[in-house]
Chain A
């Protein structure tokens, strides 16, 4: 049993992974997955409806699941169809997340009125929207950094309501029960020009591909614009007609008609836009598979197994942990590769992808370290970092689509792939050294498992990783300087993000010089490495919170408390390291410590 345990764990995990990647059939008769693959243009790029549905829900309510008032579950695609074609029904679905009781007061609501105490429907908010607008306008002149949490909450909620409203205007005028009949009638078409004009103003999506078949994203139109100045039904673009019929079928609860018009429209698109269709199809499948969520669970399991291996069955549990981590790493690799193909970009383009990449890089290093040492330590550290960075990435994904278009100044694949990837690898390595040091300190202080051999092995790993981190963070920072010289005319401008990267380089240099000069031994080395976590976390997130400088592309308030908490934890670990070695439970460790 013991011998086969690692194999058993691996097979179990493989089954889970295969299950997550396999295409899932639609629960009902509507071909929702196929609807999810339809391409539209939004935020400057062509993406599938599935992405629109998922990113919208994540942004509005922090999760993808929708619970209908009667208690049944809706898929993101079903929710989006309701919103497009049956607005009054969508308005009763509780998908606005409101955490602040003060904001709820604006609507005369209490947590008890919401789903799970925090989610409310458009219908519930409707009566208080004017007051929300007034409050948001009072808050707007205040600089973002100086706003109170109430002000931030009202501004954000108003943005969410506007976003929701704009989605409604995307495929047909909201709450129109017979739009398909309307566009088939010349008189009614002419009479509706005002409605089309407001669709043109508000629509969030450009759903109508160019009739010419030229694959230029700039030629995609929104429905309102496409219907503007149309004089007869013959001039209505096929995409508008297809979506109108789709909406009718959805309202009529007629899967047969729904699936039929979907098939016709897909066939119309396939020929002129093979590339857009291929990418949209792939992205929809990627959205459904959620590879990063699966690898998040695998990292948790790997960490637990690795930690257990220090108590019982060191060989078998250690091997099982290593395999799980390797599998999670492969899955994350596939996920990152998929994103790179979809975006046609290097792996790191924004804060979200930097979180993915830091996790990936650290775990990759840990796989090598674990192969060299086989003591479960690198597996534990790697899966812990993998898990944490995916959690961070998940929270970052709540602000909208994670595949944003690159602003002009950042639009350089060459520098993104050299500077950004190298400097992010430096972050990853510095974190890894810090997490290995945490394992050393925690195991040493609280357990008897840190024997001299393990302690020496950990010290070697930390030292090696700090060397690696110094090299990558230095080269990455300097490449950044060269990029800045190429595009802004100065090599170094003391911008917060530049300073952050420099701090990491300096701190790694401090660790190495202390080590070389004999100013610290093992215990001191570990404490310094843990402080490296604080320096890196501040450079990664703290600098963006200042809201100044050329790199402040990822301003995030919610992360502030997280950062404070993280710094507190690291300081606590450093304080533990300050306890004299004689008081540690593993006091029989390395004599030199």
Chain B
């Protein structure tokens, strides 16, 4: 390990004339690497502290999956960018690393370790970006005996408008919540009516109007919400709490409005109505991704260590039935033993209802293998790099020791 001879920073050596070279040199500089690493360090540290207030998910949105970290000025609605976010820092590191290899590093056996490490790092950074874009996760909650063929999102919701006229087949039109937050009227060729968002609440409670002493006028004019009032609540980021969005929507046909409905994730049953001879259902619910198979929970076990309430294992036994009929088998999912099938991975995440309900986490991430490859490359690269260094240093030591033992003959 060449400790006694610190190398001259190659990055700071001018490579030639021209502004392009100067820019490339700056992009490839080691000082920039160190600066970016230090900024990442600060960002991660602050973000970790902020988890106490925002929770893991809130922090991911604010710091890691963001180009800039925005902070609201106290007492105002103005937000200012105060620090680079994860995307910016990760992207800058990526550029720094790639330009450094283009400008500074020569491909040689001695540098093989560094090359491997840095290529692995590039792959890791790209992989994290890709999985941030592609990964979808949600949950499957099943009571014993119950069947389900969709994954429910943890945080995203949708307005489901369902035509239930045909008893054999439901036609579902799912509208993402983002549309309810806008003011534009929605029109869908599959629906004979338009939907106008009147008001949207990210988190709210519901109150019964008739139980209030001085009830304000009702907003909803149709459906189950005519005697209910929305009581807005602050958005929560705590991991053990959920946001309960609610919205007032006005449906209108060609002849004018049909009425205003209150939809809320707090209303468990869909609201039904008929229009032009067809039966419809309205529900604000967790976003559903449909699976190409059906899962049926046959058994759920929750073992504890004797004489304690420390959980020892959770396991779900399920029947998996493929839509195409090719698959019909029993599968087991337990702690640390997920089920991977059809691009999905299912994990034992929790339980509820006195052990009668099993909660599975379902993840779909086409890029899940990238971290395995990139980490393998980095680990191997570090091993080669430090191994070569250690080997060289030991050889120098023994050479020095040999020189001491056998002093050179004195010149006569």
Contact = CB atoms under 8 A, between A and B. Distances in A.
Interface of A: 41-45, 145, 206, 217-218, 220, 222, 372, 404-405, 407-409, 411-412, 415, 456, 459-460, 463-464, 467-468, 470-471, 474-475, 478, 481-482, 485-496, 499-500, 502-503, 506-507, 509-510, 513-519, 521, 535, 538, 543, 546-549
Given A489-B363, A494-B64, A546 B48 contact: yes
A497 to B, nearest CB: 9
Contacts of A546: 48-49, 51-52
Contacts of A471: 379, 382-383, 386
Interface in B184-200: none
A565 to B, nearest CB: 19
Interface stretch (B209-217, B267-275, B367-375): B367-375
Given A475-B379, A516-B6, A517-B34, 6 more contacts: A460-B1, A471-B379, A482-B371, A482-B375, A485-B368, A546-B52
Q: What are the 6 closest A-B residue pairs judged by CB atoms, nearest first?
A: A44-B305, A517-B30, A489-B363, A478-B375, A218-B306, A408-B311
A546 B135 CA distance: 28
B9 A518 contact: yes
Contact of A470 (B56, B60, B345, B382): B382
Nearest to A203: B307
A518 B7 contact: yes
Contacts of B253: none
A478 B128 CA distance: 13
A440 to B, nearest CB: 13
B310 interface: yes
A408 B334 CA distance: 9
Contacts of A145: 52
Given A220-B307, A489-B338, A491-B131, A459 B3 contact: yes
Contacts, number: 181
A229 B360 CA distance: 42
A487 B336 contact: yes
Nearest to B52: A546
Contacts of B308: 43-44, 405
Contacts of A521: 6
B307 A43 contact: yes
Interface in B81-137: 128, 131, 135, 137
Which of B48, B51, B128, B389: most chain A CB closer than 10 A?
B48
Interface string B301-319: 0011111101111100000
A463 B1 contact: yes
A549 B41 contact: no
A551 to B, nearest CB: 11
B233 interface: no
Interface of B: 1, 3-4, 6-9, 11, 30-31, 33-34, 37-38, 40-41, 44-45, 47-49, 51-52, 55-56, 59-60, 64, 128, 131, 135, 137, 239, 303-308, 310-314, 335-336, 338, 345, 347, 349, 361-363, 365, 368, 371-372, 375, 378-379, 382-383, 386, 389-390, 393, 397
Contact of A519 (B30, B314, B336, B362): B30
B408 to A, nearest CB: 21
Nearest to A456: B4
A464 B390 contact: yes
A220 B37 CA distance: 55
B42 to A, nearest CB: 10
Nearest to B378: A474
11 contacts: A43-B308, A145-B52, A470-B382, A471-B386, A475-B379, A499-B47, A503-B45, A506-B44, A518-B7, A519-B30, A538-B45
A171 to B, nearest CB: 15
B226 to A, nearest CB: 37
Nearest to A525: B3
Contacts of B382: 470-471, 474-475
Contacts of B389: 464, 467
Nearest to A518: B6
Contacts of A509: 37
A411 B44 contact: no
Contacts of A495: 56
A411 B312 contact: yes
B312 A486 contact: no
B56 A548 contact: yes
A518 B12 CA distance: 11
